[in-house]
Structure 1
């Protein structure tokens, strides 16, 4: 009898599926996996059989999950649901949070994410890329480059921070030695439009232009921002203050357009990214300026990656015009 009971229990466990989230589509298909994220258009479902799958939200009939998830029906706040239950009515889901279950329309949900300990709706992402380039020949050169980029969002606010350091040697002599830091704060006005204020500082130990400080503000538009990528464009009115190594100072205003784009093009393994700024000074400093980068990032693991990128610095119409292109290969970490 005891052996028979154990056998029955073993068969029950073997035929019972492991706990997983389930999504029912309007065409009758059912997918199992782990809900990772939803932000307005795509639900990202991580599966063992197909990796990360992006599902169109308007093709989902209902879903269920045993995870504790934050369900946001507006940008200002959300409801922490201990689990989600499938609804018999297509286009709806039942939120269970320890009180009376509540049925909501899928169309009313703007975001689904794992709640954070302090700020429930906090999302934080970023990457650190490091590049090393050694050349040995008639002229030896060593190039060290590191870039940091991170972004955190909660509610209607988004914080953006960037920084970088570059140092080059030519025949054991330092030919490049500079660093920069930038911070921008976005306040979203609705799902897509936001207003940005930013501060940027650059310091160069070698070039004639020793210090640059830029303060700017202006409107921006977020086309999309989810686990598969993001794309935003910002228009800014900037004031720049320059200080040269001989003590001279110069200030001017400029109009500029910034972009920030990244998209996974092969599942979540290969990422295409590009960012930069094109500007028009409102003085006879230059006709226009361009500072841009484009590259590919290959994820070796969930956190480690290899990257290849090209950077372009261009100042046209000024004394001592600048036109430099830099290519690099490197290693990075992301979160």
Structure 2
């Protein structure tokens, strides 16, 4: 009797279909998989047969999911739905016990898995490291560690990044610098935001020993979703330079910033670039440029190999020009 019961349970389990989310498109297609996120006009559906598929929200007729999902119809408030049920064309039903609610798909701004404390928190970032040790006629050690992260909650986005570089040859240090930056963005619409930031740089080798910058200005977010992000901004800055000989400069400047990343080949490869180009209002320097561009290749869901190039230029300074280019290759983690 026990064996017969276990056999029936096994057959029942094998015949029960695995739960999956379903998306119906306006062209009549039906896709199954797991809904990961809806943001920036794209619904990201993870499938076993094609990986992550971005779907245009305007082409979706209705959808179904047994996941607990946070559904936001504006930038600040949202509702955690126990499941999503299909409805008539252009609508979906949010099932929450005895009070289901049918809403227009066009009214939904964001869908995500709720977080345990801050339900609409979106936190992402990466840490990259490059190490190079050469033992030959000249011993060379080269270290580069960089991190970048952002956390979005409601109408606020907090950003932080930093980097440390050190090179030495035969125990003589030839490069030793680090920098850190914090910025906060306040969104007024889905795209427009106001940016405030502070940056500090320290170099123990170059003539420009310390650099402090405080800036503020408007920005525009073209997109920010599971497949990448692109934003630009304009800043009015106050910068303080301190040189190794003790001299100091301070001046105001205007600058333009950009931050772009895009996932390619089924999210296996990420192309990224970011930077800032500035023009002092006074005659302290002609212009400044700080930028990086690179690629990351995902080895696993969290580990990656990276290759990047960095460029720093200060042209026309009274204390001499600065022009540095650095190439690094290494490994990293992302979340």
Into which bin does the TM-score normalised by the smaller protein fall? over 0.9
Check conservation: 1:140, 1:171, Cα contact below 8 A: yes
Query: What does residue range 149-160 of structure 1 map to in structure 2 within 5 Å?
Result: 149-160=148-159
SS at match of 2:14: helix
CA displacement, residues 174-212 of structure 1 (integer Å, 9 cap, x when unaligned) = 111111110000000100000000000111122222211
Match of 1:334 in 2: 334
Structure 1: any 5+ residue segments left out of the alignment? none
Displacement of 1:246 after TM fit?
2.9
**TM-score (normalised: structure 2):** 0.95
Structure 2: any 5+ residue segments left out of the alignment? none
Match of 1:287 in 2: 286
Q: Distance in 2 between matches of 1:14 and 1:257?
A: 59
Matched, 1:71 2:71: yes
User: For residues 2 and 28 of structure 1, do their structure 2 counterparts lie closer, same or farther at Cα, with a shift above 3 Å needed?
Assistant: farther
Displacement of 1:135 after TM fit?
4.2
Match of 1:229 in 2: 228
Displacement of 1:5 after TM fit?
7.2
State the aligned residue count. 334
Q: Distance in 2 between matches of 1:209 and 1:4?
A: 81
Match of 2:38 in 1: 38
Q: Distance in 2 between matches of 1:99 and 1:194?
A: 39
**TM-score (normalised: structure 1):** 0.95
Matched, 1:58 2:58: yes
Match of 1:16 in 2: 16
SS at match of 1:118: coil
SS at match of 2:106: helix
CA displacement, residues 139-198 of structure 1 (integer Å, 9 cap, x when unaligned) = 443210000100000000000000111111022201111111100000001000000000
Matched, 1:148 2:147: yes
CA displacement, residues 242-283 of structure 1 (integer Å, 9 cap, x when unaligned) = 122333221100100110000001111100000100000112
Match of 1:302 in 2: 301
SS at match of 1:100: coil
Q: Distance in 1 between matches of 2:290 and 2:174?
A: 20
User: For residues 276 and 10 of structure 1, do their structure 2 counterparts lie closer, same or farther at Cα, with a shift above 3 Å needed?
Assistant: same
Check conservation: 1:133, 1:328, Cα contact below 8 A: no
CA displacement, residues 108-136 of structure 1 (integer Å, 9 cap, x when unaligned) = 11100011111111000000000112345
